[in-house]
Amino acid sequence: EVQLQASGGGLVQIGGSLRLSCATSGFAFADNAIAWFRQAPGKEREFVGVVKNGRTYYDDSVKGRFTISRDNSKNTVNLQMNSLKPEDTAVYYCGAGRPILSSIRGASAYGYWGQGTQVTVSS
């Protein structure tokens, strides 16, 4: 059974940091890209970043503030979020799949998803 479990969300002040983790099992972790998306109330799920073939790609809105790291020995991907802003408030999801490079920003490119973890940035 494929499982992805995102954790680490919470309430943080503007400028603070959080570290999310995505623990996975049940599929060939090393052969899949692992992405982070987020979804705010009333909005579509949007791309945050992805680690694919050893490289990371980020949305411009988080570049320089967020960092994705991958631990193949633990089948886990982490999202370190620094300098958080109110607009980062959302439910964060991790997804797994094998998208081509031109498709990494589309949620439909990922076949497996975790349940999401809430991140709230407040003053």
Q: What is the pLDDT of residue 100?
A: 93
Determine what percent of the chain is predicted with pLDDT higher than 90: 96
Q: What are all long-range contacts of 107-113, with beta carbons under 8 Å and residues at least 24 apart?
A: 107/37, 107/45, 107/47, 110/33, 110/35, 112/2, 112/4, 112/27, 112/32, 113/4
Distance of alpha carbon 83 from alpha carbon 40, whole angstroms: 18
- What pLDDT, in 10s, does the model give residues 19-73? 999 999 999 998 999 999 999 999 999 999 999 999 999 999 999 999 999 998 9
On the 0-12 / 13-18 / 19+ scale of CB atoms within 10 A, 13 is: exposed
Mean pLDDT of 97-114: 95
What pLDDT was estimated at residue 87?
96
The share of the chain scoring above pLDDT 70, in percent, equals: 100
Q: Please, what's the largest Cα pairwise distance for the chain? A: 41
